[in-house]
Amino acid sequence: MPLIEDHHYLKICAQLASSLSISISAARRKVEVAAAREGKKNLQARKEIAQKLLEQTLNEDKKNNISASESFDQLLKALKEEENFMLED
């Protein structure tokens, strides 16, 4: 994936990464995959896709009244029956 140095595109990807609690490179990859799926390759189309993904993420957060980081934290908590599980001795 070639490096894109457009400030606005990087800003949208950074906001997407922050809202999803992922790295900026993972957010950019998510946008690249969505753009490839739609067959769009130019920078303007990628900006639009990134903005659309950001809006979808923010709308889901508002709808669920929980942020992505809080949701991620809940997924990382151990279940009662798995608390004392050890992978190795």
DSSP per-residue letters across 16-81: HHHHHT--HHHHHHHHHHHHHHHT--SHHHHHHHHHHHHHHHHHHHHHHTS-HHHHHHHHHSPPGG
83 within a domain of the structure (yes/no): no
**Domain tally, the chain:** 1
**Structural contact between residues 18 and 46, judged by C-beta atoms closer than 8 angstroms:** no
69 within a domain of the structure (yes/no): no
What is the reported pTM?
A: 0.67
88 within a domain of the structure (yes/no): no
Residue 14, domain extent: 7-64
Q: pLDDT tens across 19-77, in order?
A: 888 899 999 999 999 999 999 888 899 999 999 999 998 888 777 776 666 766 776 77
